[in-house]
Amino acid sequence: MDYSELVKSYKKLESTQSTLEKTEIISKLFINSPKEDLDTLAHLIRGKAFSEWKNLDLGIGKKLIIKAISKATGIKEEKVKKEWKNKGDLGDAVEVIVKNKKQQTLTTKKLTLSLVQENLEKIAGAEGSGSQSKKISLIAELIGSAEPEEAKYIVRTVLENLRIGVGEGLVRDAIVKAFFSELIGLSELDGYEITGQQVGIDKQLLGSISEYRLNKVKEKTELIEIDLSDDGISKLWKKEGADVFITDRKKEIEDRLKGIVQHAYDVSTDFGEVAEVASKKGVQGLREMDIELFRPIRVMLAQKSDSMEDAFEAVGSEEGLAALEYKYDGIRVQIHKEGSDVKIFTRRLEEITDQFPEIVNAIKDSIDEEEVIVEGELVGFDPQKGYLPFQKLSKRIKRKYNIREMIEKIPVTVYLFDLIYCNGNSLIRQNLRIRWSKLNSLINKIDNSVELASHLETSDLDKAQSFYQKALDENQEGIMLKNLSKRYKPGSRVGYMVKLKPVMETLDLAIIGAEWGEGRRRDWLGSYKLACMNKETGELKSIGKMATGFTDEQLEELTNKLEDMIIQEDGRSVKLKPKVIVEVAYEEIQESPKYESGYALRFPRLVAERETLGTGDVDTLDRIRELYGKQS
């Protein structure tokens, strides 16, 4: 498939804000594309080079892109920078430069989807001596083979700043529309014999049917009801004078299909694979997608509660019983073990195995089972000093060398709290009571290395409050409350698991812009522009600026990190790749037309950088609205 075909879709997507129109555009792209290109398309349509779990990073900043544009076009770097400053966007700048270039590229290749993907993979794989030059050459090859509009989207993709407003939800809905529109159509006025295809669809999508009650009807239209074991009543109407029935379940069937596609993505973290399976194997193929060892899944997330009473009510156990656990101030990890092979992943699916070799060895000693996937919290803990602050622990995530020295300086313990896979069997459909019991039985605790999370099962508010206070006394963040009868739902922020903390709720937000300082701070970036996530479109929406309360050391450290993430400049203001996520405290949320979210934070201040989080973990606009509504 020619890359130009994808560019046509990019242009259409960029020209509309309508969710329905975007879904239609993407679904048509999927339908009309060769099956072998679906994997690549499902990533590139979101501006992603790879599936999230593959742990590949292009590592391209503005400096390398400018050099690549110069090499591809023969335009001096200073002129590239000037055009960038003029346009404000490197993608727009390269479009103009390629359109006006005089240098003819001697060796151009036809710009196909497979060539783009191949070069992106080579860029991510380039390491060691000469890797920068190799990356520049690979990007230059794509730009040199591209038409002006193609070059624009190549540069935006490499910079991970596609700007067409396509998020996970749109890709999921487009897969449903592209490959299951016939199933949704069955619920319209066509009708099917009740003993034939329509019943099969209900069984496939909505659970097994426990009983049929079909009333004999003659000439008149009559309401017929079917009992479903999971889903209550399905309504069917008999068309007058015909032995066919019509269902009103179009929306329900469509929503269930979206849920099936979403679940497949949550356990595979790969929309490319999901699209391929949907096109080739249909609903049954998606249902068969499940957890695989050494492929991290999207973790289940908790909602937030303001009081112990609210937390118990939210968890919603019928018998009033809840499982309480410490909320440790550490890194949430997912640990995969197969025999002597162990890998550790963060909740953003990043592998950190090499940084924690002592935990790898401890897991081998602690767990006798051949195959397991466990979840826990990796916490800095020194037997002599007690729990270490997260800021200190985070240094170990970044460290790629002198690991032994870091083990001595910053010892860690992992506190395990869930078991989601064991010896070939996924446990996510099992309730927490079963999962916790199995975890408890298979862990051989190793003091100060591998332990079970502090855990209490109670319906007594006083006991729960005492447990909460004990957690705070031990310098933990707070506690978690969980419903013991509920299953594990990957990728979902569920209402039956909540966190309770004593301080005003903070927000995890992305830094999407900044301004160069003045005076003695002129060489540092400050006045950081913050953004929350519109989950439906996948777009980050600004919610304010964080400008005060920084030390010189913090400003210098953040500038060093952010400078190569600049993708657009306008005077002193810069736009940044949303790679840095920060925890932000604030006094109040206010309505504000000044920012894209419609809200602004009053007196936002930095709590901590959240190195283990990605843009998918940023607090959502829905969460902002919820918090705003709770303010008195």
Q: What residue type is assigned to position 92 of the chain?
A: D
Any binding-site annotation on 499?
yes
Q: Is 338 annotated as a binding residue?
A: no
Token look-up 């499982």 returns 323
**Position 232: which residue type?**
G
CB 572 within 8 Å of CB 515: yes
Q: pLDDT at position 163, please?
A: 86
Kindly tell me the number of DSSP H helices and DSSP E strands found in the chain.
21, 25
CATH of domain 3-165: 1.10.3260.10
CA distance 534 to 409: 40
Q: Which residues of the chain have pLDDT under 50?
A: 186-248, 632
Q: Is 332 annotated as a binding residue?
A: yes
Q: Strand, coil or helix: what is 118? A: helix
What are the strands, taking DSSP E only, across 355-477? Answer: 371-382, 386-387, 412-422, 425-426, 450-452, 455-458
Determine the Cα angle at 475 with ends 472 and 476, to 5°: 70
pLDDT given for residue 291 in this prediction: 95
Amino acid 423: pLDDT: 96
Q: Is 180 annotated as a binding residue?
A: no
**Distance of alpha carbon 415 from alpha carbon 445, whole angstroms:** 10
Strands 573-576 and 566-570: antiparallel
Residue located via tokens 């407003």? 165
What pLDDT score was predicted for residue 53?
85
* Active site positions, annotated: 327
Q: What is the DSSP string of 261-289?
A: HHHHHHHH--HHHHHHHHHHHHHHHHHH-
What is residue 542's predicted lDDT score, i.e. its pLDDT? Answer: 95
Q: Among residues 621, 515, 530, which one has the least CA distance to residue 580?
A: 530
Q: Which residues of 399-423 are buried (b: 16+ CB within 10 A; e: fewer)?
A: eeeeeeebbeebbbbbbbbbbbbbe
377 a known binding residue? yes
Estimate to the nearest angstrom the gap between the alpha carbon of 444 and the chain centroid: 33
The CATH architecture annotation of domain 507-630 reads Beta Barrel (2.40)
- 301-500: CATH topology: D-amino Acid Aminotransferase; Chain A, domain 1 (3.30.470)
Q: Is 609 helix (H, G, I), strand (E, B) or coil?
A: strand
Does 493 count as an annotated binding residue? Answer: yes
